[in-house]
Amino acid sequence: MTRQSAAPRPQGERQPTAPASSPASAPPSAKRGITAIDMRIYRAVVGAVMSHRLPPGTRLGEADFCELYQVSRTTVRKALQRLAHDHIIELRPNRGAVVASPSPQEARDVFATRRALEREIVPLVVRHATPASLRAIRAALEAEEQARHSGDRANWIRLGGEFHLLLAELSGNAVLHRFMGELVSRCSLIIALYEIPGAPMCGNHEHGDLLALIEQGKAAQAVELIEHHLLAIEARLHLGAPERKVNLAEALAGC
């Protein structure tokens, strides 16, 4: 997520650190063992999932990746393990890798858990708000809006998740931040898989409204808004869509 340069901070003001990676972001390049080709495969699969080119349940054969990217199975397996860690795919015994296919009940459980966490996070963000944290939130909103105007749905979904991860970071509670990393990853996948393909990328006014409430110190209203926001996202999901066969090479073309 792009961050704007901040003015010098008053003594004692905390500078937000970079949020944890969400599904559509590449794994940190500094992470031991990750190479450029691993990240390329990771990005290609995530982008194809987020743009609906790889629907849930699609089998991802190692041999297909080896042929497409001219790499070894060891390299492919490293990328697939990272994708599994971020809940983008599942590694199933005797079936190999498949695009994750959360059930309707699992999707509801994930969103219910996320609402519970964000009800705790938002008041902490209000309590700990500083000029630097408000600038960081505003920069995140601007990045989202740029992705929407460019029509980049995968990036838009990713940045929407990172907005919520940023709030978790700014809460000052490292445990909530860590839990939110997994929940945002899973929610982003669920949204990408089960929003109706071709649905318009509407402006996310609620993120802007939330920032306004945080700036005004209105914690109770901000909690109500975040719950309404997450319920509205869940209500837009079209769960249980029929499976369709896809060609992996076509889905990853140009990636």
Q: Is the pLDDT of residue 172 over 90?
A: yes
The contacts of residue 193 (CB under 8 Å, 6+ apart) are 49, 52, 55, 56, 99, 100, 101, 102
pLDDT at 104: 86
The residues, ordered by sequence, that sit 6+ positions from 121 with a Cβ below 8 Å of its Cβ are 167, 168, 171, 173, 176, 180
Tell me what pLDDT residue 243 has.
52
Whether pLDDT at 233 is above 60: yes
Report pLDDT digits (tens) over 38-71: 889 988 888 788 767 888 888 999 999 999 999 9
Torsion on CA atoms 16, 212, 151, 50, rounded to nearest 10? 60
The topology under which CATH files domain 104-235 is: Four Helix Bundle (Hemerythrin (Met), subunit A) (1.20.120)
- Domain range summary for the chain, segments of one domain joined by +: 36-100+241-251, 104-235
Whether pTM > 0.85 for this model: the answer is: no
| Least confident residue range of 21-30, 39-48, 91-100, 212-221 | 21-30
CATH class for the domain made up of 36-100+241-251: mainly alpha
CA-to-CA distance for 116 and 97, rounded, in angstroms?
Answer: 31
